[in-house]
Structure 1
Amino acid sequence: MFLLGSALLEVSARKTLNRLHSTHGAPALAAAKELPAVSAALDQHAAAVRDILDVGVRDSATVPTGVLLAGYARGLLEHSGRGAARAPYGPADWAGAEWLPLRLAAVCLLAHAKA
């Protein structure tokens, strides 16, 4: 495997995940501390993402977790037709958040748990 290419892929993934963490992960985590329903929703989304990457991606054990998570997040955004998903503003907004922002926040939480 070409190591420089692999390293660049990981750097790109980290940039994507850091950007998403600031817009989605950190605010969702703050909301989850205040609202158990947000915490439960994030847990469910995180479990689904783990299952998708573990079972649905062939040879996923050979790819760095951050690269998998960033690729998944990019795929979600591309499939949704949005360049970026607008994150809810405050804890009450996270309680009524749509599927995509919650899924992106769960990706961020998984990424930071693995870091």
Structure 2
Amino acid sequence: MFLFGSALLEVSARKTLNRLHQTHGVPALAAARAVPAVSAALDQHAAAIRDILEMGVENSAAVPGSVLLAGYARGLLEHSGRAALAAPRDPHEWCAADWLQLRLAGVCQLAFART
């Protein structure tokens, strides 16, 4: 069972994911449409994230997906020591994107594929 106050957690998670979608998701999706290699990389990152959250998080089925994804993204940024991370704007720059940029875009791909 999910803890009391889950609605507040979901609102906070959705805000995080919406911000991330603007900074990473939108540009990455545009790049994926233009560059097949970027599309493949995003699919691989999204699949890895899905597997981590489904198999690596105890009781993940009881937690809303948006909360899991936002928590994962926040953890990535915290672990990297960055409060925010700029994403490439030009679609072809995504070919040289680093692991963290692609991973955050993968979070967006999962989050917004469900809505």
Query: 1:42 corresponds to which residue?
Result: 42
1:114 CA displacement: 1.4
1:81 CA displacement: 0.2
Query: 1:15 corresponds to which residue?
Result: 15
1:89 CA displacement: 1.7
Query: 1:99 corresponds to which residue?
Result: 99
CA–CA distance in 2 between the matches of 1:62 and 1:39?
A: 30
CA–CA distance in 1 between the matches of 2:8 and 2:47?
A: 28
Query: 1:83 corresponds to which residue?
Result: 83
1:85 CA displacement: 1.2
Structure 2 unaligned runs (5+)?
A: none
Structure 1 unaligned runs (5+)?
A: none
CA–CA distance in 1 between the matches of 2:102 and 2:85?
A: 10
User: Normalized against structure 2, the TM-score is what?
Assistant: 0.96
Q: Taking every aligned residue pair, what percent have the same amino acid on both sides?
A: 73
CA–CA distance in 1 between the matches of 2:113 and 2:92?
A: 24
Residue correspondences, number: 113
CA–CA distance in 1 between the matches of 2:54 and 2:72?
A: 12
Q: Deviations over 1:73-104 (max 9, x none)?
A: 00000000000111012111111100001000
Paired amino acid for 1:87? A
Aligned CA RMSD, in angstroms, stands at 0.6
